[in-house]
Amino acid sequence: MIRPWRAFLYLFLLTHPGGVELLRAEPLHISNAGNILVSQDNPGGDSISLSYTDSVVITLDREIRFFKGIELELIVPQAYMAHRGSLALALYANLDRAPEAGTANLDAQQISMEPIPNKIQIIYQIPIRSNHGMRASPYSSLPTGIVPPESFPILFRILPAIKDLGEEVETMPFRLSAKPIFSDEGAVRIAIRNPEQLPRRPFTVLVDDEVVERPREIRLLKEGEHQLVIISDDYRNENRRFLVERGKILDLSITLQDTTPLVYFEAPDKTLIFFDNEAVDNGRQPITTEPGLHEVRFQMSDYSVVKPITIQRGKTYRVALAVDVSISEGD
């Protein structure tokens, strides 16, 4: 007979957030109905049919940076309601190996056990990282504390809670599904290229006003709009906004520009363009110049327009000739 205080201590070890570390491994002889891989590429998850003596192994895929946990859903047959209390559910972590389908012997740590609740649909949410923000609700429960990714694969098991189960229970079909629970995060991967004429000059990258020490590394961010700023004495400053989607990596490519001013021209066809009295051979291409006071002249037949312009470092200018037609009506 288990004394009440010992039963309480046993339950504490099973449900305490540190339970994965507190419990010792125990030998198990299981019938494995199959393995489910929880993957970012399959957000809806997979499912497996099992009986009252079966187990299912749940494995995490390699890419889990956007996971905060996994969700297990067990569908219980309606007929089981007449046999409530005869079966239990158990979860195990730190398996010494990942068994294939069929019978197997292995060692694992039990992290949770309870009688099957009086529900047709049972949902367990298992956090795999701190600050997961998940809470128990009338629709789902957290049967364990944090089960870190290194404790996976985990084992879900149905097992008898009483002796002499009836034949009806032995043939009842259950169905277990497993899928990822995503955090409200995405990521950005910034690729920055230097201009050939100015390689390896220093610059500072800020994301949301926070200095990024290693901008080429993938950076987790909350989903939504963010701001990227690049500051440098040798390159043009960059200021861009970008959108991060939940569970996705955004590749952001930026080619840095030197601070030499650029001047673009717009004018009607057959217009001659002069910059500081030198002809601009191709008006469709920008020209580079030095900061200071300059002069632009547009020449159309005998008609010319002259415009002074003050150029600053790191700026881009567009000089356009606007030709207007004025119509007036007299008395």
Q: Do residues 30 and 104 lie in contact, with contact meaning Cβ atoms separated by under 8 Å?
A: yes
Give the list of residues 6+ apart from residue 144 with CB closer than 8 angstroms, or none: 15, 19, 20, 91, 111, 112, 126, 127
Give me the residue spans of the domains in the chain.
4-182, 185-255, 262-320
Q: Which amino acid is at 281?
A: D
Q: What is the pLDDT of residues 75-97, one digit of tens each?
A: 999 999 999 899 999 999 999 99
| Alpha carbon of residue 262 to chain centroid | 39
CB 29 within 8 A of CB 107: no
Instruction: Give the Cα separation of 257 and 235 in Å (integer).
Output: 5
* Cis ω for the linkage preceding 153 (within 30 of 0): yes
Helix (H) or strand (E) holding 157: strand 154-160
Joined together, the tokens standing for residue 261 give 């001013």
Q: What CATH architecture applies to the domain 4-182? A: Sandwich (2.60)
DSSP state of 306: E
Q: Which residues of the chain have pLDDT under 70?
A: 1-23, 330-331
* CATH number of the domain located at residue range(s) 185-255 in this protein: 2.60.40.10
Q: Are 290 and 311 contacting, i.e. CB atoms less than 8 angstroms apart?
A: yes
State the residue for tokens 């870190």: 148
Which amino acid type is present at position 93?
Answer: A
Q: How far apart are CA 301 and CA 292, in angstroms?
A: 29
Q: Could you give the maximum distance between any two Cα atoms of the chain, in Å? A: 117
- Going by C-alpha positions, the residue among 122, 95, 111, 118 that lies closest to residue 28 is 95
